[in-house]
Amino acid sequence: MEKLNKQFVKNYQKRPEKVLQFGQGNFLRAFIDWQIDVLNENTDFNGSVVVVQPRGQGAVEKLNEQDGLFTLYLQGIKEGKPVKEHSTISCISRGLNLFKQYDEYMQLAHNPDLRFIFSNTTEAGIVFNENDQLTDRPQTSFPAKLTSFLYERYQAFEGKEDKGLIIIPCELIERNGDKLKELVLRYGELWKLGRGFLDWIDGANTFCNTLVDRIVPGFPTESIDEITAELGYIDEFVVVGEQFHLFVIEGPQWIREEFPVHLAGLNTFFVDDISPYRTRKVRILNGAHTAMAPVSYLYGLNTVGEAIEHEIIGKFVKEIIYDEIIPTLDFPINESRSFAEEVIERFKNPYMQHFLLSISLNSTSKFKTRDLPTLLEYVNRKNSLPKKLVFSLAALISFYKGKSGDEKIELSDDHEVLELFKTQWNEVDGSLESIRGIVTSVLSCKKIWDMDLNVIPELTDEVTKNLYEIETKGMKQAVETLLEQKAAN
């Protein structure tokens, strides 16, 4: 069988190379390259992507053998129904290996059509390496590689303002654009590239902060034979992603004229401040994940899909989201509810198994960053406790006993945290007094929470009551009793 190439694509077009992309991995191809393909099909964007492999060997050579083409499968819930669809993504013009094609990479800096740089070099990619030099071919760190490229462009176009670039990193760190710009300027100073270059970076180039959201499981190893038979060609770069996508870019609105996502029906937005979007995503999506995991697992469920579809647990999770998380957000309530509905659809995705045990890794730190801010803000605004989140906190303490019935739970967390729970659970004899003892100790642990949670009015009593219910009656009866109390109110 033949390998995928441009002969398989109707109306294959060569387009101007407007985009430089650092990274050839699954996420960028299923997220950025897919969006650029959509722009090419639906707007006058008319641009192609040059992919740079920032480290390692081999991948871009194989991608070039496929003429830069790959197949994307999007699987998930669309308008309430399971949908699985695939398309051939054709926006990549070529791939460059920096270790073999450094001169070609630098020549791209001379291209007047080039306008955008996207990157995903992982969370560990936007770092400073003081040993990197301008003369290295290539440098070690991504920011150093980028600085070298931008300096080449600055020289090639003699510092012209209109030859600056729009730089949109997708790494999962807060203020990623600000951080990247800071490191580029730092390299400019370290390498003594001159005030003119530093001013050009600051004035002619636009660094955007971003929030990216799409689950991309990647290459479908288990089903690739079936997919190959369906496609009729060999594709070593097949990638699977969910239907949902969200791309929030903190940057000036004029970028939309050059990157017209609003004309292509994409869930991509340019905003003045990304912070509320990040907070909404962390609190609703990640917060619901963390809150549901111990409750659902101790109830006897294994996956997020099972949990959200379950009559009792699904109700519990939805009430946390709609009644306790959303009221604490500084965001239009209708937009938050709409986002929550999308999150719940994603949780139901029949094509993706998201295991509760994998979500439960490092649950204490996750609860602190994702759920505790909601709990504190709820108390601040309502002067009462969010009952479901408090119950989830009790379930978390129960989960960290490391047992569900007779089954052992393999816990994964900081060693000191695990030792604290082990010591405290060894002192519990089943009495209400001993349950209060472990609750008081856990809530007072500043290593976990950075504060003593016992100072929150009634929290110790409420967590104690919930944990006692869970331990004496079991999770099923405890959570059902909790939901009945709300119905009675």
pLDDT of residue 407: 92
Tens digits of residue pLDDT in 228-280: 999 999 999 999 999 999 999 999 999 999 999 999 999 999 999 999 999 99
Average pLDDT on 334-358 reads 91
pTM check: above 0.85:
no
pLDDT tier at 432, thresholds 50, 70, 90: very high
- Which one has a higher pLDDT value, 354 or 281? 281
- Cα–Cα distance between 482 and 469 in angstroms, integer? 10
pLDDT of residue 489: 64
Average pLDDT on 35-62 reads 92
Q: What is the CATH number of domain 6-272?
A: 3.40.50.720
Mean pLDDT of the chain: 95
Domain 276-488: CATH superfamily is N-(1-d-carboxylethyl)-l-norvaline Dehydrogenase; domain 2 (1.10.1040.10)
pLDDT of residue 488: 67
**Phi and psi (nearest 5°) for 53?**
-85, 105
**Phi and psi (nearest 5°) for 83?**
-130, 135
Q: How far, rounded to the nearest angstrom, does the alpha carbon of residue 52 sit from its chain's CA centroid?
A: 22
- Cα–Cα distance between 316 and 325 in angstroms, integer? 13
- Cα–Cα distance between 342 and 433 in angstroms, integer? 43
Q: Which of 240, 252, 195 lies closest to 29 in space, CA to CA?
A: 240
Domain with CATH 1.10.1040.10 in the chain: 276-488
**What is the share, in percent, of the chain residues with pLDDT greater than 70?**
99
Q: Which of 212, 210, 236 lies closest to 224 in space, CA to CA?
A: 236
- Cα–Cα distance between 29 and 73 in angstroms, integer? 11
Domain with CATH 3.40.50.720 in the chain: 6-272
Q: How many CA atoms lie within 13 A of 252 on its CB side?
A: 9
pLDDT greater than 80 at residue 405: yes
- Cα–Cα distance between 433 and 428 in angstroms, integer? 9
Helix (H), strand (E) at residue 57: none
**10 Å Cβ neighbour count for 230?**
11
pLDDT greater than 80 at residue 336: yes
- Cα–Cα distance between 381 and 377 in angstroms, integer? 6
